[in-house]
Structure formats: structure tokens, C-alpha cells
Structure 1
């Protein structure tokens, strides 16, 4: 059986946000087919003028269809707004499993979104990956307008009312020190999702960019286990 994994980055972000888990899982399962698209208006430069939520929905639908044509099963991994887009796909298409990283479903602080990389700056021991991510955000703090933020929130409003309809296995990862998407958002998701097959992992020292958390190797292993096997327990802490 051929497995495909679609990774979706967050608002104002790029593929660097998810690259650590992409690389980890590819090392473990090199036979998997991977798709890591860049959303319209995103990338090394932000070009969000005139870009709407419909562009992002279309982006992920196109990426899903292209991947699905090559594989038997599709897993979707979404970070922040990408988590909302992942759930949107699960509502519309056959998705085998979902992995939601710092998913921005509720209680989010939109004004703080552009300061998320500052969390990494404050960390004492930054590796090369962290530095790359911080640099990629430096110019963005001045570039995002209110209309763009409203398009991001539109994604949230499109998906959130239908969480009960999601009945596939879901793995949620949430940093307890996330200043953008608080812990209670993960609790909300866990309680509202219709599936009975769901797990939640709380990283005690994790910030919003959870793929760069100090304990990422631990929860990467759990995500790998979740994708490959069945479910062992519903809630645990780093």
C-alpha cells in the first residue's frame, strides 16, 4: 500500500515551519510520497495583496488531488492555519488520518501571529534550522495587513462549525507555552472532534512553532507511531 503525506504550513509562513517533521518521517519511511506545497502569497516573500481564503482552500485541494492520484492513502499534517486547512480537506475528501500541530481553531490571538518567531529568538540554544526560520519572518512583521488577517480568520470560521463531522483518527500536538494558540484550543479540538480515535500530546516547553520545540524528537516518534499503527493512549505530556 502506497502512503502519501501532505504537509501544510501556516499563515504568513512557509515550508520551513514543517520541514523538521517532514525530514524526520522521510528518514523513517523513505518510500512514502510527500507533498509540501507553498500557499498562494506565501514563501520567501509575502505577496498577500488580493489573496483570499479561497486561494488557500484551492491550493490544498489541488495538492491533495495531485497526491491522491499517486497513492492509496493520504495522511494530512497541518501546522497552525494549516491545521484548519487539513481539517477542511478531511471534511471534503477521503483522508486516512490527520496530524494537527498548533492548530488555530479557537481562542487565537491574531495580533500576535507575526511575533511568533520571537519565541525562537528568546531560546538560548538555537540550531541552524531555528535561525533560518527566524530570518524568514523578519520582514513579515511589517508586511501583513488587517484584510489578510481577516482571510486567515475566514478559514477558521469555515471549518470550526463542522468539527463533529470529522470521524477519522486525529493526533493533536500543542505547546503549553504557545502564545498564539493557547492550550485550551487543543482541549477544545479534542472535545469537539467527532472521532473517537484521537490523541493529544502536550509539550510543556513548546511554543507556537512546535516543530522546533526542544522535545520534538519525542513527539515526532509518537506521530510516526500514530501514522503507522493504531492508538495507545489518548493524552500524555512531554
Structure 2
């Protein structure tokens, strides 16, 4: 069964633009409904797809965190080149890391970080994420259990050099948090792993934004943009964006 690769989406609305960034091993589906929600309320939203994501697992491990980071930067530049002078950025998980990172390098109207890690994840945890991604992909291809087991045995032996780079970019972004002065909204799900819950406090306490808010969602896990409290998340993000000092 041939899998159609996910595509970036661009919802053109008003002059207020929002860059939306998905997570590691995720796709634009992580932020699609948020984008639709904001677009219905007048915002222009653009979400890129990181290289190797939503494709054959071999494509994922043949790319690395620098590739994915460049895709996020290219997304920001795409909005700028499209004529949007003011850009806010919002992301979930790795997208939350990239949102913070963009805010430390480029001018943004505001930044929304959701479920972002601020501590180095173990290679074992990251390796498990890739393995789970590969297994899901092969099941989606309608392969039988014996074929999946055989292919996964070979896949497990492949080098995963991208994991070290991903660790490094998370640590480097944490070291850049004090640079951030843009208004910030930090969101976390309280049913997420402790590392992500604790990271929200680290981010909130480390950024130098005069306007910053930390909000917790008691019934949400990691990808809070698709979880049971997603509508509340969408409204929180919308109200944050509405409170920014846009020119128009």
C-alpha cells in the first residue's frame, strides 16, 4: 500500500500570521485543527512538514534535527516572504522547542510552547519513539505481522545518528531561553511524562518575557492539541494571540 506523504498547509486569512510546528515523528495533523480554529477567527496559519516525517521510517532516520530545524526556519521565512510582517509562532513537543528557538533568533510577535522538553531526553526514549513510528507506519501499509517483525529486526540494527543531534538542539535551546523577550504562553498536559511537566516550569522561569503565562491541563497528555482538552487549548492560544500588540 502506497502512503501519501503529508503536506504543509497554508490557511490564508488576515495580516496576523501564525507559524505552527509539529512534533518529533509527528506531522501537520498535530496542529491542523488548531490552524483551522485560528483561521476561522481571521488568522493566517502556515505549518511545514519536517524532512523525513510522515514517510517511510528510513526517510526519518536519514534526516536529523538540523534538517528539521531548517524546515522550521524556512516556514518562518515563507510567511515573511509572503508579505506577513508580523508572525507569531506556536508548536507542540519538538515544535515547541523550535518555537522557542525561533523566538531566540528572529523577531516574533509572540510564542506558544506546548509540551516542549527543556531537558535532554535519553537516547533510549528517543529510540523507542522511532521504533514506534516505524511499527505504526508498517501497520498502516497493511503489512502482515511476520513481515513487520522481519523488517523491524533489520531496522533496529540501523545507526540512529540523528538522536544525538536532537539531544544537542534541545539543550542548546534551553541555554538560549534567557534571550527570549517576546510575550509567551507555555502549556502542558498534567498526564504527560514528568520530564515535560517539569520542563514547562524551566521554560517559564528562564525566559525574560515581561508578559508570560503558564497553563496546565489536568486531563491532557503529550500532544495536547489533539487531546481531550484541545478545544480549551485552542481558545487559550486564540486569546493569547488576541492580546498581542498587533499593528492591525
Q: 1:22 aligns with which of 19, 29, 35?
A: 35
Aligned residue in 2 for 1:210? 224
Q: TM-score, normalised by structure 2?
A: 0.76
Aligned pair in 2 of structure 1 residues 135, 20: CA closer, same or farther (>3 Å)? farther
Q: 1:50 aligns with which of 58, 62, 67?
A: 62
Q: 1:61 aligns with which of 47, 68, 73?
A: 73
Gaps of 5+ in 2: 1-13, 140-151
Aligned residue in 1 for 2:93? 80
Q: 1:163 aligns with which of 168, 177, 181?
A: 177
CA apart distance, 1:146: 3.7
The higher radius of gyration belongs to: 2
Matches within 5 A, 1:1-238: 2-29=15-42, 32-46=43-57, 47-69=59-81, 70-106=83-119, 108=121, 111-112=124-125, 138-139=136-137, 146-179=160-193, 181-229=195-243
For 2:176 and 2:71, the matched residues in 1 are separated by: 21
Gaps of 5+ in 1: 117-133, 232-238
- Size of the alignment, in residue pairs? 213
For 2:204 and 2:78, the matched residues in 1 are separated by: 30
For 2:171 and 2:215, the matched residues in 1 are separated by: 25
Aligned residue in 2 for 1:236? none
Q: 1:12, 1:140 within 8 Å by CA — same for their partners in 2?
A: no
For 1:150 and 1:55, the matched residues in 2 are separated by: 14
Aligned pair in 2 of structure 1 residues 166, 137: CA closer, same or farther (>3 Å)? farther
Aligned pair in 2 of structure 1 residues 54, 115: CA closer, same or farther (>3 Å)? closer
SS at match of 1:48: helix
